[in-house]
A = this chain, B = another copy of it.
Amino acid sequence: MLQRNAPSSIVKRLPVYLRILDNLIKKDVEIISSRTLSNQTGFTAEQIRKDLAYFGAFGTRGTGYNTVYLREKLLKIIGLDKETNVIVLGSGHLGNAFGRYNIIKNPYIRVVGMFDVDLEVIGKRVEDLHIEHFDKMSEVIKEHNVKVAVLTVPAEQAQYVVDELVKCGITAILNFAPTKLNVPKNVHVHNTDLTIELQSLIYYSSSEEEGIN
B93 and A97 contacting across the interface, CB-CB below 8 Å: yes
- The yes or no answer to A205 lying at the interface (CB within 8 A) is yes
- The yes or no answer to A47 lying at the interface (CB within 8 A) is no
| Distance between A128 CB and nearest chain B CB, rounded to angstroms | 15
| Distance between A18 CB and nearest chain B CB, rounded to angstroms | 7
Which of A40, A193, A194, A199 has the most chain B CB within a 10 Å cutoff?
A: A199
Per-position contact with B for A13-38: 1 when CB-CB < 8 Å, else 0?
Answer: 01110110000000000000000000
Q: Which of A98-106, A116-124, A136-144 contacts B (4 or more CB under 8 A)?
A: A98-106
- The yes or no answer to A125 lying at the interface (CB within 8 A) is no
| Interface SS of A by simple majority | mixed
Apart from A4-B204, A150-B198, A188-B204, 4 more pairs, CB < 8 Å: A16-B196, A41-B180, A109-B199, A188-B205
Please list 29 pairs of residues, one from A and one from B, whose beta carbons are closer than 8 Å in the complex, sorted by A's number: A2-B211, A4-B203, A4-B206, A11-B203, A11-B204, A12-B196, A15-B193, A18-B199, A42-B180, A79-B202, A79-B203, A79-B205, A79-B209, A80-B199, A84-B205, A93-B97, A96-B97, A97-B97, A102-B178, A109-B198, A147-B205, A147-B206, A171-B204, A171-B205, A174-B197, A174-B198, A190-B197, A192-B194, A192-B197
